[in-house]
Structure 1
């Protein structure tokens, strides 16, 4: 990843965390990385509001629809693995409901928060 893309991604995550806080979420973790080198997962933001934990993927593109298309099945599997490890590390959260959200970012637009953006295949 180029330094410019990394900076753009970090700025998008900052804006997404701000947006979630405005919506009443507490940020539990940012840029969470689980199981380094072991195929563990990666989660941009872990947030909580009430009895719900949201594992959030942030995507920034020139258009929000392009950002949505950039969330791949491989990424959703990595995020799910990360969520599993995060919950194992925080057993006090195991009684809460969890879901996978997306926040789509595009220049000149407000963030688009999609709650329950995808579900795990069982």
Structure 2
């Protein structure tokens, strides 16, 4: 793995940890972190009340660039991964599913609730 790729991987892991701690502080409970499924990886799956928040985390030099980094194709992949996650898990399947984004730039963070709807 190149140094650039290693650095991007470290930045991504740091952003995911930052986002995780931020959401926990806002009252979300963790369901899964960095969950690899046969159809894609879910960065964070968090629960708050009757909402299952599927969270895509993006770290970029600016919050606007982070927002632009999430493609429609990526949201579709996340939707398939959530379908896989909830299949056979009635406790999760009965919750309202919401697709959120957490955008990170340095120590700035923005939680975008309901960032995408299927």
- Structure 2 gap ranges (5+): none
C-alpha offsets along residues 51-107 of structure 1, whole Å, 9 cap, x if unaligned? 000000000000000000000011111111111111115222111111100000011
Superposed CA RMSD in Å reads: 1.1
In terms of fraction of residues, the more strand-rich structure is: 2
SS at match of 1:101: strand
Q: How many residues align?
A: 115
Residue pairs, 1:106-117, within 5 angstroms: 106-109=105-108, 111-117=109-115
What are structure 1's unaligned runs of at least 5 residues? none
Normalised by the length of structure 2, the TM-score is 0.93
1:62 and 1:89 map into 2 onto residues whose CA distance is 40
Q: Distance in 2 between matches of 1:28 and 1:21?
A: 11
Answer yes or no: is 1:82 the counterpart of 2:85.
Answer: no
**1:5-84 equivalences in 2 (<5 Å):** 5-35=8-38, 40-84=39-83
Normalising to structure 1: TM-score of the pair?
A: 0.90
Name the counterpart of 1:93. 92
Supply the distance in 2 between the matched residues of 1:77 and 1:50 (Cα, whole angstroms).
25
1:118 is matched with which residue? 116
